[in-house]
């Protein structure tokens, strides 16, 4: 593929519920199928040489869902991570988690910490999983951290360093599946100049071909960052 590739791709993985409903299945069946799409995107990103992939798995607003679905989502995530972590290490994927940890099940938080420590040495692909993540919450936590350190005034770059994605460049491309055209409180600060790509495809149907289409579209974009192109 002769494409100008993004170095950081962020994805709002949406449409699992609709995918399941269309098949008369429980919503959680859509989440299970969605995991396979996440795997496929991880593998292709790694093969293509994309350096950072950030996936929105659970938002600070998703607590509004029925307890049953919330529990199923955390069980799915924990089970998946336990089962697949070694495979991800073999692929030299470094896993990191962004978002709050104070409201998640203890066992999940422990596993997240273990995985972050164990995969620390890899750098083929950095995979950030956003769990109990909200862009506003990220900003407020960052402000509070700075205040706790006694900071009185900050520059943009100093402020970025307090955010969950401090060590990653801003996303070059944001993909949202399932037809919704909104940010839903994802990376509010970091998406300032990100190229946006929306597709009707539901997340469980978003596999290699769909991802390649998004990358091709990105490749044709002219990024100006407020400047003008050299002619
Ligand atoms: C995205 O799919 C997964 C999460 C938000 C956890 P949804 O569950 O939002 O699916 P729809 O939007 O109801 O189809
Ligand atoms: C955004 O999807 C959050 C995740 C994909 C984890 P939602 O389905 O929760 O977003 P809204 O409610 O349509 O904005
Ligand atoms: Mg949704």
Measured CA to CA in angstroms, residue 58 lies from 73, 94, 148, 151, 159 at distances of 8, 20, 27, 31, 24
Contact 15, 179 (CB under 8 A): yes
Position 229 scores a pLDDT of: 86
- Residue 71 annotated as catalytic: no
Position 2 scores a pLDDT of: 78
Give the integer Cα–Cα distance in Å for 123 and 151: 32
Nearest to 162 by CA among 145, 147, 137: 145
Provide CB contacts within 8 A for 219, sequence distance 6+: 3, 4, 5
Contact 177, 41 (CB under 8 A): no
Domains and their CATH numbers in the chain: 8-219 (3.40.1180.10)
Position 1 scores a pLDDT of: 62
Pick the catalytic residue from 62, 137, 170, 185: 62
Pick the catalytic residue from 14, 132, 164, 172: 14
Q: Give first-to-last CA distance, the chain, whole Å.
A: 26
Write out the chain's pLDDT in tens, 231 residues: 678 999 999 999 999 999 999 999 999 999 999 999 999 999 999 999 999 999 999 999 999 999 999 999 999 999 999 999 999 999 999 999 999 999 999 999 999 999 999 999 999 999 999 999 999 999 999 999 999 999 999 999 999 999 999 999 999 999 999 999 999 999 999 999 999 999 999 999 999 999 999 999 999 999 999 999 876
Q: Is 146 exposed, middle or buried (0-12, 13-18, 19+ CB in 10 A)?
A: middle
**8-state DSSP, 198:** E
Q: From the CA of 178, how far away is ligand 3's center (Å)?
A: 8
Pocket of ligand 2 (CB under 6 A): 12-14, 56-59, 62, 180, 182, 184
Atom of ligand 2 nearest to the CA of 17: 8
- Residue 138 annotated as catalytic: no
Atom of ligand 1 nearest to the CA of 18: 14
User: Which residue lies with its CA nearest to atom 1 of ligand 1?
Assistant: 14
Q: From the CA of 114, how far away is ligand 1's center (Å)?
A: 27
**DSSP notation for 83-128:** HHHHHHHHTTEEEEEES--TTS-HHHHHHHHHHHHHTTT--SEEEE
Query: Hey, what are 58's tokens?
Result: 């659970």
Residue to probe by mutation, ligand 1, list 29, 30, 176, most atoms within 8 Å of CB: 30
Measured CA to CA in angstroms, residue 76 lies from 108, 130, 190, 198 at distances of 11, 15, 28, 26
Contact 108, 74 (CB under 8 A): yes
């Amino acid at each position: 593929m002769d494409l100008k590739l993004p170095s950081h791709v962020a994805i709002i993985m949406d449409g699992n519920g609709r995918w399941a409903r269309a098949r008369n299945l429980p919503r959680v069946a859509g989440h299970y199928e969605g995991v396979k799409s996440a795997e496929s995107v991880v593998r292709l990103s790694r093969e293509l040489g994309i350096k950072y992939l950030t996936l929105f798995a659970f938002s600070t607003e998703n607590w509004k869902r029925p307890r049953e679905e919330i529990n199923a989502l955390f069980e799915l995530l924990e089970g998946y991570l336990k089962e697949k972590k070694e495979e991800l290490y073999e692929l030299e994927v470094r896993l990191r988690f962004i978002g709050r940890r104070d409201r998640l099940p203890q066992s999940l938080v422990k596993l997240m910490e273990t995985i972050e420590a164990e995969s620390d040495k890899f750098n083929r692909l950095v995979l950030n999983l956003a769990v109990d993540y909200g862009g506003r919450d990220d900003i407020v936590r960052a402000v509070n951290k700075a205040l706790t350190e006694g900071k009185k005034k900050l520059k943009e770059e100093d402020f970025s360093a307090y955010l969950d994605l401090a060590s990653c460049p801003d996303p070059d491309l944001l993909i949202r599946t399932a037809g919704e055209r909104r940010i839903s409180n994802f990376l509010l600060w970091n998406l300032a100049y990100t190229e946006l790509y929306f597709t009707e495809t539901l997340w469980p149907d978003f596999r290699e071909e769909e991802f390649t289409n998004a990358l091709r579209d990105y490749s044709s974009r002219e990024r100006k960052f407020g400047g003008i192109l050299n002619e």
